[in-house]
Amino acid sequence: MRWMILLFWLALCFSVAATGGRWTAGEVTGWYRTLVRPAIAPPNWVFGPVWTLLYAMMAVAAWRVGLAGTSAARSWAVALFVTQLALNLAWSWIFFHCHAMGAALVEIIFLWVAIGATTILFGRVASVSVWLMAPYWAWVSFATVLNAAYWRLN
């Protein structure tokens, strides 16, 4: 049963990844390619491997929290996790589909706060989950700066 729960979290996280990826893929070779690139922007090929690893780590973190005993902290942590996943998906839609870099910047700030709150609550429930979420929080910190740079230049 434990492994089925892990499969659930992996399926949920990678469903979000696949949906966001569909919204993004066509724009990378079209609209996104026409933008002025900030000096800090990594090559496009970096994003796929990084996000794959981050989504896997997020799923394992959620799984570890789910294995903990029932508590209010666990319930809040899982609710925040699902919220930040929805915000993660919304960012792809706003930035890549709508081409609304300013709105995406506002949205990613909410995402960053949600990831932070999730990470803190995860740490109270299953301490290993902090270390699994920390790289995601760090990457979204960088993505926030990158989003701001794209908005400023374009």
CA distance 22 to 46: 17
φ/ψ of 34, rounded to 5, equals -85, -10
pLDDT digits (tens, 9 = 90+) for 34-49: 999 999 999 999 999 9
- The total of structural domains in the chain comes to 1
CA distance 97 to 153: 19
Average pLDDT, the chain: 96
- For residue 149, CA distances in Å to 24, 36, 105, 121, 129 come to 18, 10, 10, 31, 31
pTM of the shown model: 0.95
Identify the domain containing residue 89 by its residue range. 2-153
The answer on pLDDT for 61 being more than 90 is yes
The answer on pLDDT for 153 being more than 90 is yes
Whichever domain contains 15, its CATH number is 1.20.1260.100
Distance of CA 79 to the CA centre of its chain: 15
- C-alpha gyration radius of the chain: 16
